[in-house]
Structure 1
């Protein structure tokens, strides 16, 4: 648990140094350095309640003398102060506001052990550290804490300039690495395991996005229930387990899955891409990855990648040790399934927001909101080729957060845009549908009868736990999984007056190459050739969004599902979509037009692409909804014919209810 802590000191903190006071520069009577509460929470997670944290510190008394002083952190309201040592040496006559305070602390022992130094503005170590990306967060926070390799550059600079304080023996010497190389029986040019580990661990994952990537693996193996365990770090350390009831893997299958960049055949609905997701997502958060998996008719298999073992052996050597007793219940799978266990997890590098909740509570909330948004179609049972999925976080079932799902949202016709350059037999395409969400007055009116707490929850979910202005733009769905959202990809500028519009852009694996889906499946690039067709397609909805924002539109809002979604051939497109005709080259035949206004009704009927009954009745926050599946084509045709007639749809809903009561629905299901 080694951290590198950086802070640019201010006037109020320099009274700690006697020489600063003697020169008459002091502006305050404070005799300590401020430590931000979120830094202390990250470095000392088990010390959340105590008011004092002991640290044995080494520092310079003069240029060549190192002293060791018993110091401590003391809680001061909601922050902490570093106390116990006020250097009297004239060596510190250089101290002025802007000096860089750098501390390397090992928090794994009690008291903690640390070395610290203050570096003047004209010192090359200061310019080296502040000129490197590791210090970037100092632009947002007064103090930052870098864990382990995240502060490797800073530690190297400190070791070079202040070796008496920071020089330590390397855990793996050059000699030992050469000895290992001499014993190799493989290709001399094979990548160094530790080096590759460090590279892959920096592939741009946050904790929520890493968890989502691990959930992808569960869904690709047919999981219907996924349990995520992430206990409080103050109770047993920082670890996480993602367990599913999918098909699991055979011993040889698991060994292949643990291989970096494993090349395999991906199914049409497989969320994987590079053979990297499992390892990259796990390593971005933890130094130890253990996978337990069991396929039908096979014994359970356990394999582990361990960073320390890679550093020691410099070989790609998997461990087969059993899971530690404290984690056995979390990885307990049934007849089939997989459990991914992350241990030796690194602290979050995301800055804490506000002080109302603990950093751990904020992490839980971030994971929850991210998964509810990213996998909302899976949670709703609307992802093609998948049954409804249940995802639990610490035993709490997640609720789908459909960014276009509010009942007052206006839905536009869907359009298909072909991506140029695809092969003749496999045409890649985007399926684009625009939505205009309710304005603030409409939204407030809709939720006014809810209790204040529920109103706040609904607002947060509708704004995707951010600013409404940032939620406008394109929402890219890859195989019904949301991978990127918000913003216009340089098509348009973000505009307060268009903040009500959200545009779903769906694609499948065929479009990966042309959209340049990145290794973490979080970023894409729109080809220039389709920017004009896409921009033209969205002119109408953007104009309607401005009108609704300005409250100039008087028509009653259309319930979701009220628009026509019939393709020329009546055949669903990938993802269960029913696109209208487009001209060659991806240009829409006509600009999209908003669905006609209908009477506000709490019951709607809409077509879906799959289901185990001819129709299913659901009730949620937006009211009652009847989903009609393709199992009964005549019923599908009837729904299409009465699509614009609200009274007819109400009558059909009541007729179907009577059939449900009489048990006819079950009989029709059996025949289907």
Structure 2
């Protein structure tokens, strides 16, 4: 046992312990979302001074084969490309660069693809290429050198779109997120869903860059055999503070939190107008997720909402959004950015300083939250709106839907939750009501049709269940079902059975 505590630990030399090849597997298991991974690659394009970026989905008939990101930035010569493809490769990041750790290209790519190929050209150098193949990388960090002829052909393929004299191409193959069987319209549905989500994500997190006249992102889908371009979308900026009129004429206001050891942190505090239908307000996340801090690092949005242990999310602060440009904090003592650039970890000193943080008129940040809550509450009171309390949603309803229901409706106290369950019922019945146990039974016979052939799960068919939840409130709040409600239930039953049978017929014909 140590007789006295030693603050300095003595050493007896050092030993070099290089990482095992399996480190590449750990690097590719950081939980990158698909959209966040693409955004990380585009950060590199921005750092390279690109004005145009193309996100290119390549398909061969019904199969998706590759994903390619192309930019017209300054490009890399052979030495620079070797550094870029080295895990943790050391390069001099500019103070305003979006890159940080030297791992983004590799970890973002190999989180989603079996291989990543990078081909690049500068104004003064020939095209060069390198490839990380996951199987080879994890058995010894062996990076492939791309044949110079292919590298030139690849650059030529994108000559003029968008590469002019220089640029970089990143290619993913074996993308694990792609549908394995593209028949039956599965690839088209995947692309529709994915392109929409990707456009929203890039539009939000890079909105300050996209708002400029000298930076553009295009998402395109093309067939590699026929050359037919199925889609071509320009990503538009999605500014989370782009409301036409403030929800409170006294806002926005800028508060200053004085953090020991860091100095002032400015917080531009906004109150959105209530009931906004703009995409900038409601196109991403839920009400609770949208409120809170929007942290920017070098104009790149790295956190979109959340209160960072300052307070719990709550519905009445749904209109409150605070823009914070992160100050220089190289040691991460107060603000630490995640490797994926999808969140900020703030020290307790930040949260402790917020309540009393003043603005130029000595109004404090705590008063801002009171004002945001007041605006949210007043709009319903002035409109004379008082929504009727509902039976709480329960098992079988998707958690996101459940959360929105609980945000929008007051819940009946001391009432058990309304549950959903699939069960075998007569074919002329779409649903049955178990009032005593508060269970809404849906006919198993129509489940496959309602799911479009997808596999069922506990929280499946969210649209159908949400509609049934709203329709059946009166039935579950009454001891007896009156004649008027009985007639409505019979009507809904007949129409829903007819609609479900029509879906079955369409499945049989396809």
Scaled to the shorter chain, the TM-score interval is 0.5 to 0.7
Are positions 1:389 and 2:215 aligned together?
Answer: yes
Equivalent residue number for residue 411 of structure 2? none
Task: Say if 2:274 and 2:379, in contact at 8 Å, map to a contact too.
Answer: no
Partner Cα distance (1:310, 1:531) in 2: 42
The partner residue of 1:337 within 163, 167, 172 is: 167
Q: How far 1:413 sits from its partner (Å)?
A: 2.4
Partner Cα distance (1:285, 1:329) in 2: 26
Partner Cα distance (2:187, 2:80) in 1: 46
Equivalent residue number for residue 529 of structure 1? 349
* Mapping 1:424-435, distance limit 5 Å: 430-435=265-270
Equivalent residue number for residue 211 of structure 1? 38
SS in 1 for 2:135: helix
* Mapping 1:132-151, distance limit 5 Å: none
Task: Say if 1:241 and 1:340, in contact at 8 Å, map to a contact too.
Answer: yes
SS in 2 for 1:230: strand
* Mapping 1:591-606, distance limit 5 Å: none
Task: Say if 1:479 and 1:508, in contact at 8 Å, map to a contact too.
Answer: no
Are positions 1:399 and 2:236 aligned together?
Answer: yes
Task: Say if 1:331 and 1:340, in contact at 8 Å, map to a contact too.
Answer: no
The partner residue of 2:20 within 181, 189, 192 is: 192
Q: Residue by residue, what CA displacement relative to the aligned partner does 1:313-362 show, whole Å, maximum 9, x if unpaired?
A: 6342332235499966665432111111111211269xxxxx99823321
Q: How far 1:235 sits from its partner (Å)?
A: 4.3
CA spacing shift, 1:348–1:539, aligned 2, 3 Å = farther
SS in 1 for 2:24: helix
Are positions 1:414 and 2:241 aligned together?
Answer: no
SS in 2 for 1:540: helix
Task: Say if 2:320 and 2:372, in contact at 8 Å, map to a contact too.
Answer: yes
CA spacing shift, 1:516–1:219, aligned 2, 3 Å = same
Equivalent residue number for residue 319 of structure 1? 145
TM-score (norm 1): 0.46
Partner Cα distance (1:519, 1:237) in 2: 28
SS in 1 for 2:268: strand
SS in 2 for 1:414: strand
CA spacing shift, 1:472–1:357, aligned 2, 3 Å = farther
Are positions 1:365 and 2:196 aligned together?
Answer: yes
Q: How far 1:535 sits from its partner (Å)?
A: 3.1
Q: How far 1:250 sits from its partner (Å)?
A: 1.6
Q: How far 1:377 sits from its partner (Å)?
A: 0.6
Equivalent residue number for residue 294 of structure 1? 121
* Mapping 1:78-477, distance limit 5 Å: 189-193=17-21, 195-232=22-59, 235-310=62-137, 314-321=140-147, 323=150, 331-332=158-159, 333-347=163-177, 358-381=189-212, 388-394=214-220, 395-410=232-247, 411-422=251-262, 430-440=265-275, 443=276, 459-477=278-296
Partner Cα distance (1:259, 1:229) in 2: 25
Q: How far 1:241 sits from its partner (Å)?
A: 1.1
CA spacing shift, 1:323–1:396, aligned 2, 3 Å = farther
Partner Cα distance (2:92, 2:151) in 1: 34
CA spacing shift, 1:431–1:318, aligned 2, 3 Å = farther
Partner Cα distance (2:61, 2:28) in 1: 24
Task: Return 5+ residue gaps in structure 1 as ranges.
Answer: 1-186, 350-354, 382-386, 444-457, 556-672
CA spacing shift, 1:233–1:489, aligned 2, 3 Å = farther
Q: In angstroms, what is the RMSD of aligned CA positions?
A: 3.0
The partner residue of 1:540 within 363, 367, 384 is: 367
Instruction: Find the structure with the greater CA-based Rg.
Output: 1
Task: Say if 1:419 and 1:511, in contact at 8 Å, map to a contact too.
Answer: no
TM-score (norm 2): 0.60
Equivalent residue number for residue 520 of structure 1? 340
Equivalent residue number for residue 506 of structure 1? 325
Partner Cα distance (1:212, 1:420) in 2: 33
Partner Cα distance (1:370, 1:281) in 2: 15
Partner Cα distance (1:266, 1:325) in 2: 28
Q: Residue by residue, what CA displacement relative to the aligned partner does 1:433-483 show, whole Å, maximum 9, x if unpaired?
A: 11100111xx3xxxxxxxxxxxxxx54442133322321111111111111
* Mapping 1:583-594, distance limit 5 Å: none
Q: How far 1:208 sits from its partner (Å)?
A: 0.1
Task: Say if 1:460 and 1:466, in contact at 8 Å, map to a contact too.
Answer: no
